Amino acid sequence: MEQTQQILNLQVTQAIREIETLRESWQKMKAYRHDLRHHMQYLSSCMENGQLDRAQAYIHEIDSAIESNQVINFCANEAANLIFSAFVRRAEDCGITIRIETGISQDISISESDLCVLLSNALENALHACQKCKEKGLSASIEVSAYEKGEQLFMQFANSCTERVEFNHNLPVTDSPGHGIGVRSICAVVERYEGMYSFVADEDRFILRILI
């Protein structure tokens, strides 16, 4: 229990840092959009002076910066949007299909850092399993659904999975170094809010459900 709490404390600290980093990236993107007039003036000046290569390079630079910092609005919760957007980019870079249907509000019953711990660990585990599928030449996908009912939040994460999952007391276990921490962190957060969780695996899919 003490070890789990220490791990959770570290993950909460890391979650806060990740959220702030993502927020900073989002602010940079908003700044680029706000300064659009200045960018256009610079491009116009380049073209008037025949500096087309410089104008083209500047366009690519701005486009790359905006694309890398883009935040998709999946729901009303800012932290959830930041986390989802980051994992969508990672999944797409790996050729993994990801679908997200969510209605998480900004004013929910759990803290922002705890929400980040839940989402980040669940999506990290799902992405890791899908990457193993891709390594075997198989297609892979992640499906996320989340909604609120009253003061409770329900989340489900389903992902492709080709390897046999071992369970101990209804929890997935692994002997791989560095793995299994995410599951313990998820359980610790849910238990602290007196919520419920379940892990289910069949032949080609793994499902995590959380009610909190």
Supply angle C-alpha 52, 54, 59, rounded to 5: 95
Cβ neighbours around 195 below 10 Å, total: 18
pTM (2 decimals)? Answer: 0.71
pLDDT in tens, 111-129: 888 898 899 889 999 999 9
Report how far residue 154's alpha carbon sits from residue 186's, in angstroms, rounded to the nearest whole number: 14
Strand runs labelled E in 77-134: 97-102
If one compares 82 and 177, the residue with the highest pLDDT of the two is 82
Q: What is residue 167's DSSP assignment?
A: E
Cβ neighbours around 75 below 10 Å, total: 19
Whether the Cβ atoms of residue 126 and residue 98 lie closer than 8 Å to each other: no
User: What per-residue confidence (pLDDT) applies to 196?
Assistant: 96
Q: 112-135 vs 78-93: helix axis angle to the nearest 10?
A: 10
Q: Which residues contact 14 (CB under 8 A, 6 or more apart)?
A: none
DSSP-assigned beta bridge partners for residue 125: none
pLDDT in tens, 184-203: 889 988 999 999 999 999 87
